[in-house]
Structure 1
Amino acid sequence: MNEAEIKLKRMESILVELIPEALGHLNDKRLHDLEILEVKCSRGRSDAKVYINPSNFKESEKIAYLKQLNKARPIVEDFCLKDQGWYRCPKLTFEFDTQFEKSQNLEELFKKIEKEES
């Protein structure tokens, strides 16, 4: 792992801690309970995707949450800047994580294949 990768991982881990703290300071109580699973920064650390746990949210709720998060994005970025003393914060993009659903679908497919073979 080279120095650039280490800096990238460090920034991602800092953002995973700071974003929930920033959301906790907002007036919207719904955003306080969101679980941040992972943050992936771009190579130049100018953009970052924030993955949120989609647990038991309906599609309409997910859309509403994403709208609220997009409105709160500048406040969250400003909180991260002030807390860490960075020159600039990556532009945050919020998404619900779909990896768990995809892995469940794959497991179901493997079970179907196993049944068909037996």
Structure 2
Amino acid sequence: MKSINLQRTESLLMELIPEALSTLNDDRICSLPITGVNCKNGKYDATVYFDGSDFSEKEIPGIISALTKANGRIKSYVLSATGWYKCPVFKFVNDKSLESSNSIDELFRQIEQQKSKS
């Protein structure tokens, strides 16, 4: 179970990272939905999950690369907004849980249609 301070940090990062992204000039990532932040080792490492469902599988590595290049600007934004001494190192990961959730919903719809036909 995570400490309250760590949960607060994750919650704050969930707000600040999209704000930081919105200040960037890259159209691919400036409005990218952030679905979660998972901090490890205190505030030293953070995995940032984004919804890449609007992009093809071939585009995702480019999105991750753009996010990695913007890492310094995101950190600067977070540091200025929070007054922290140190900002976590961000690792960006495509959140596929939304896709699997949608496919499960689709399966339920198909089952329901088959039941109603018989």
Residue 90 of structure 1 is matched in structure 2 by 88
Q: Deviations over 1:37-77 (max 9, x none)?
A: 11000042210000001223101211111110000011101
Cα separation, partners in 2 of 1:106 and 1:43, compared to 1, 3 Å: farther
Shift of 1:80: 0.3
TM-score computed with the length of structure 2 as normaliser = 0.81
> Take 2:104 and 2:26, find their aligned partners in 1: how far apart are those partners?
36
Equivalences for 1:1-118 in 2 at 5 Å? 5-103=3-101, 108=107
Confirm or deny: 8 A CA contact 1:8 1:43 kept in the other structure: no
Structure 2: segments with no counterpart, 5+ residues: 112-118
Confirm or deny: 8 A CA contact 2:35 2:51 kept in the other structure: yes
Q: Deviations over 1:64-104 (max 9, x none)?
A: 11110000011101110111000101100011102233445
> Take 2:65 and 2:27, find their aligned partners in 1: how far apart are those partners?
15
Confirm or deny: 8 A CA contact 1:80 1:89 kept in the other structure: yes
TM-score computed with the length of structure 1 as normaliser = 0.81
> Take 1:98 and 1:75, find their aligned partners in 2: how far apart are those partners?
26
Paired amino acid for 2:13: L
What's the % identity of the aligned pairs?
A: 41
> Take 1:42 and 1:67, find their aligned partners in 2: how far apart are those partners?
22
Q: Where does structure 1 differ by over 4 angstroms across 4 or more consecutive aligned residues?
A: 103-108
Over the residues paired in the alignment, what is the CA RMSD in angstroms? 2.2
Paired amino acid for 1:94: F
**Partner SS for 1:60:** coil
Q: Which has the higher helix share?
A: 1
Paired amino acid for 1:32: C
Q: Deviations over 1:5-40 (max 9, x none)?
A: 100000001000000110111121221120001100
